[in-house]
Amino acid sequence: MKMDVEKIFRMKGGVGKTSYSKNSSLQKKASDKVKYITLETIEQVYLTAKPKSLGIADLGCSSGPNTLSNIREIVDAIEEISRRTLQPAPEFRVYLNDLPTNDFNAIFQALPDFYGGLKNGRSNQGAPPSIYIAGYPGSFYGRLFPDNCLHFIYSSYSLHWLSRVPQGLYDETCRPINKGSIYISDNSPPEVPKAYSKQFQEDFSLFLHSRSKELVSGGGMVLILLARKGPSHIDRGNSFFWEILYRSLASLVRKGDVEEEKLDSYDVHFYAPSKEELEDLIKKEGSLKLEGVEMFEIEKDVCDGSATSYGTRVAMTVRAIQESMIAHHFGDAIVDDLFDIYGRMVDEEMAKEDIRPMTSVVVLRKL
């Protein structure tokens, strides 16, 4: 079953219990772990170009607090450099991009507090910098901005989402070839990882080409995305969570709450590339210089100060990300039960094995 990802896929909006805003701490933890790379990259760009107006884009900003937190850290870092070098701080042009279905209003409603925070506690630092923030809806798999208008591009936990579910997952009679899985698994025929890899290659190459046109010469880019450790597509760090989602859906099939045909026709638009794949694609596309790729794991939070289990917290995170697609395909009546089951299954499996997703951070520059 084909789904128009651009029209359907979105993080859960608002600020309620199941919203992305309330369930994006794992993503924040990862971005904080490599914050030094992000800040070092934009500082180098600023010191080289010394622009009076600094153009920044967050691609895949979503609707939670993370994007404004990241912008605040960037602004503070650039202001500090300006003070040290006795230069006036630049104005900041900030473009927050996501798909048109994203809850941009949640971000806009947080802006008064964001601007208020910039004004507070400045004492002898003078007036706060000029920051112009705008929502910029559209798919980043293609052009978004005019030529040579951005100095820094940041994208966190977005590029592992493909522009569409890959083609090639059905045979000539339109029957699914990946029955028993919703992603790449041990049971998948060779055509499945090949289809996913091909789709990622197309998407990522188009992304790089588009961004190279929009960055100024010397501009930088930091990309954070889920990845896998080696050439094998069966990487427990990421495929595990899709396996659990499939098993959770299969349990609802056995209960009669989900049709088996519906499950067989559901595939996720996700791909975790290896470090070697990223390096090869960047080199092959050729429009940007690769400054480095680092891989890291995020340790499991044993306790977040509440009585909520780790599995439940993971389930809430996955629900905030996947609910739009699942509800569209299966109907929203199953969502609560599905993620209750999912959380319990994660806890059961994590009691046997400590599974940590792998993340990559990629630093690029336009020469």
Please name the residues in contact with 88: beta carbons below 8 A apart, sequence gap of 6 or more. Answer: 82
CA distance 160 to 224: 9
Q: How many other CB atoms are found less than 10 A from the CB of residue 150? A: 24
* The pLDDT of residue 175: 94
Question: What DSSP string describes 51-118?
Answer: -SEEEEEEET--SSSHHHHHHHHHHHHHHHHHHHTT-PPPEEEEEEEE-TTS-HHHHHHHHHHHHHHH
* pLDDT digits 0-9 by tens, 213-234: 999 999 999 999 999 999 999 8
Average pLDDT of the residues in 131-144: 97
Q: Is 351 a residue whose pLDDT tops 60? A: yes
CA distance 93 to 109: 18
* The pLDDT of residue 140: 98
Q: Is 354 a residue whose pLDDT tops 90? A: no
* The pLDDT of residue 2: 67
* pLDDT digits 0-9 by tens, 98-128: 999 999 999 999 999 999 998 886 666 678 8
Q: Rounded to a whole number, what is the distance in angstroms from the first to the last CA of the chain? A: 43
More confident residue, 123 or 15: 15
CA distance 289 to 267: 34
Q: Please check whether residue 106 is in contact with residue 13, taking contact to mean a CB–CB distance below 8 angstroms.
A: yes
- Read off the DSSP letter of residue 130: P
* The pLDDT of residue 304: 54
Least confident stretch, 54-63, 102-111, 303-312: 303-312
CA distance 298 to 228: 13
Average pLDDT of the residues in 30-44: 95
Q: Is 205 a residue whose pLDDT tops 60? A: yes
Q: Is 299 a residue whose pLDDT tops 80? A: no
Question: What DSSP string describes 209-238?
Answer: HHHHHHEEEEEEEEEEEEEBSSS-S--HHH
List, in sequence order, the alpha helices (H) in the chain. Answer: 5-8, 25-33, 35-49, 66-84, 104-119, 191-214, 236-255, 260-264, 275-285, 310-330, 335-352
Crossing angle (nearest 10°) for helices 310-330 and 335-352: 140
More confident residue, 32 or 124: 32
Average pLDDT of the residues in 203-218: 98
Position of tokens 């979105």?
A: 10
CA distance 15 to 227: 29
- Sorted by where each starts, the structural domains of the chain and their CATH numbers stand as 5-365 (3.40.50.150)
pLDDT band at 236 (very low <50, low <70, confident <90, very high): confident
CA distance 318 to 95: 26
pTM of the predicted protein model = 0.95
Beta partners for 365?
A: 220, 289
* pLDDT digits 0-9 by tens, 90-99: 999 999 999 9
Average pLDDT of the residues in 142-164: 98
Q: How many other CB atoms are found less than 10 A from the CB of residue 178? A: 24
Q: How confident is the prediction for the chain on average, in pLDDT?
A: 94
Look at residue 339 and give its three-state secondary structure: helix
Q: Is 33 a residue whose pLDDT tops 80? A: yes
Length of the chain: 367
Percent of the chain with pLDDT over 90: 88
* The pLDDT of residue 130: 95
